[in-house]
Amino acid sequence: MTAVPPLAFELPDTIAALSLRAFEFSGRACKEAEAIIAQQPDALFRRLLRDQESEAALLVARRVIDAFLRQRTADVAAADPTAGDLRDDASADRIAAHVAGTGAELAATIGSLRDIEPDTRDAVVRQRAPIGLLGGCWLDVLSQPATQPSVIVNRLYAQHFAQRGQGNPHRSLHYLRRRQMEDVGVYLPEIGAADFLARAGARPLTAVHGSFYLALSRLPANFLPELVGVHYAFHALGVDDLLSGMTPMLAEPALRDLLAAYLELAGPAERRRLHAGIRLVLALECEHVAMLAELAAWQHGLSLESKVAAIVARHAPFAGAQHQGVRVGDRLLTDTFSDPGLDIAEFLREFREARQLRRSRDGLSRFVRAIKFGGPMFGIFDDREAAIFQAWVEAVQGGERPEIVICANTVGDAEAAARASAIAASAPADVVIADAGTPSDRELFYRLVNIENHANTLPLAADRAAGVFAAAEILFTCGAGGRYTDASYFDYSPQALYERAERVYWEKLVRPYQPLEEIPDRDEVVFLQTTYALGALVDATWIHRVANLGRFERQCDAALFSIYADEMGHGDLRKNHITLIHLALRSMNIALPHIRDAAFLDQADLPDELYGFSLHQLCMALFPDTYFSEILGYNLAIEMFGLGELRLHEIQKLRHYGFDDCYEQAHLTIDNISAGHSRQAADIIVSYLDEVRRALGDAAVQREWRRVWRGYASLAYFVEHALLKQVTTGQVATEPAWAGPVMTEQVLTEEEPVSLII
Q: Footprint of Fe ion on this chain (CB under 5 A)?
A: 539, 567, 577, 639, 671, 677
Q: Residues in the chain, how many? A: 758
Minimum CB distance to Fe ion smaller for 278 or for 757 = 757
Q: What would the 3-class secondary structure string for 183-221 be? A: HCCCCCCCCCCCCHHHHHCCCHHHHHHHHHHHHHHHCCC
**Residue closest to 547 by CA, chosen among 43, 52, 45, 131:** 52
Per DSSP, helices labelled H in 164-303 are 173-183, 196-200, 204-218, 224-237, 239-244, 252-265, 268-300
β-strands 327-328, 331-332: how paired? antiparallel
Minimum CB distance to Fe ion smaller for 209 or for 679 = 679
Minimum CB distance to Fe ion smaller for 32 or for 671 = 671
The SS3 of residue 24 is strand
Q: How far is the CB of 144 from Fe ion (least distance, A)?
A: 15
What is the Cα–Cα distance from 730 to 736, expressed in whole angstroms? 11
Q: How far is the CB of 122 from Fe ion (least distance, A)?
A: 45
Minimum CB distance to Fe ion smaller for 177 or for 677 = 677
**Residue closest to 49 by CA, chosen among 184, 250, 234, 202:** 202
The SS3 of residue 249 is coil
Minimum CB distance to Fe ion smaller for 525 or for 536 = 536
What is the Cα–Cα distance from 228 to 139, expressed in whole angstroms? 10
On whether the CB atoms of residues 101 and 237 are closer than 8 A, the answer is no
In terms of Cβ atoms closer than 10 Å to its own Cβ (0-12, 13-18, 19+), residue 324 is: exposed
Q: How far is the CB of 219 from Fe ion (least distance, A)?
A: 26
Minimum CB distance to Fe ion smaller for 553 or for 645 = 645
DSSP state of 74: I
What is the Cα–Cα distance from 455 to 219, expressed in whole angstroms? 11
Q: Is 166 left (phi over 0), alpha (psi -120 to 50) or beta?
A: left
Q: How far is the CB of 677 from Fe ion (least distance, A)?
A: 4
Minimum CB distance to Fe ion smaller for 616 or for 677 = 677
Q: Is the dihedral of CA 294, 295, 296, 300 positive or negative?
A: positive
The 10 Å CB-count burial string (b at 16+, else e) for 543-576 is bbbbbbbbbbbbebbbbbbbbbbbbbbbbebebb
Q: How far is the CB of 638 from Fe ion (least distance, A)?
A: 8
User: Can you spell out the DSSP letters for 458-478?
Assistant: HHHHHHHHHHHHHHHTTHHHH
Q: How far is the CB of 578 from Fe ion (least distance, A)?
A: 9
Minimum CB distance to Fe ion smaller for 426 or for 617 = 617
Minimum CB distance to Fe ion smaller for 486 or for 539 = 539
**Residue closest to 211 by CA, chosen among 53, 331, 52, 44:** 44
What is the Cα–Cα distance from 444 to 618, expressed in whole angstroms? 10
In terms of Cβ atoms closer than 10 Å to its own Cβ (0-12, 13-18, 19+), residue 518 is: exposed
Minimum CB distance to Fe ion smaller for 98 or for 544 = 544
Q: How far is the CB of 244 from Fe ion (least distance, A)?
A: 37
Whole-angstrom CA distances from 614 to 145, 520, 535, 549, 743 are 11, 26, 5, 26, 12
Q: How far is the CB of 532 from Fe ion (least distance, A)?
A: 12
Minimum CB distance to Fe ion smaller for 393 or for 637 = 637
Whole-angstrom CA distances from 708 to 460, 480, 637, 682 are 22, 17, 11, 11
Q: How far is the CB of 528 from Fe ion (least distance, A)?
A: 18
User: Can you spell out the DSSP letters for 333-344?
Assistant: HHHHHH-TT--H
**683, β-bridge pairs:** none
Neighbours of 275 (CB within 10 A): 21
Q: How far is the CB of 32 from Fe ion (least distance, A)?
A: 36
What is the Cα–Cα distance from 512 to 336, expressed in whole angstroms? 81
Q: How far is the CB of 567 from Fe ion (least distance, A)?
A: 5
Q: How far is the CB of 575 from Fe ion (least distance, A)?
A: 10
On whether the CB atoms of residues 248 and 207 are closer than 8 A, the answer is no
Minimum CB distance to Fe ion smaller for 653 or for 677 = 677
Q: How far is the CB of 337 from Fe ion (least distance, A)?
A: 59
**332, β-bridge pairs:** 327
What is the Cα–Cα distance from 427 to 417, expressed in whole angstroms? 18
Element (H, E) at 431: strand 431-433
Minimum CB distance to Fe ion smaller for 240 or for 567 = 567
What is the Rg, in whole angstroms, of the alpha carbon atoms belonging to the chain? 30
Q: How far is the CB of 637 from Fe ion (least distance, A)?
A: 12
Minimum CB distance to Fe ion smaller for 278 or for 673 = 673
Q: How far is the CB of 663 from Fe ion (least distance, A)?
A: 8
Residue 589 CB contacts under 8 Å (≥ 6 apart), including other chains: 1, 4, 526
Minimum CB distance to Fe ion smaller for 155 or for 677 = 677
Q: How far is the CB of 551 from Fe ion (least distance, A)?
A: 21
Q: How far is the CB of 673 from Fe ion (least distance, A)?
A: 12
Amino acid at 718: F
Minimum CB distance to Fe ion smaller for 388 or for 559 = 559
Minimum CB distance to Fe ion smaller for 557 or for 567 = 567
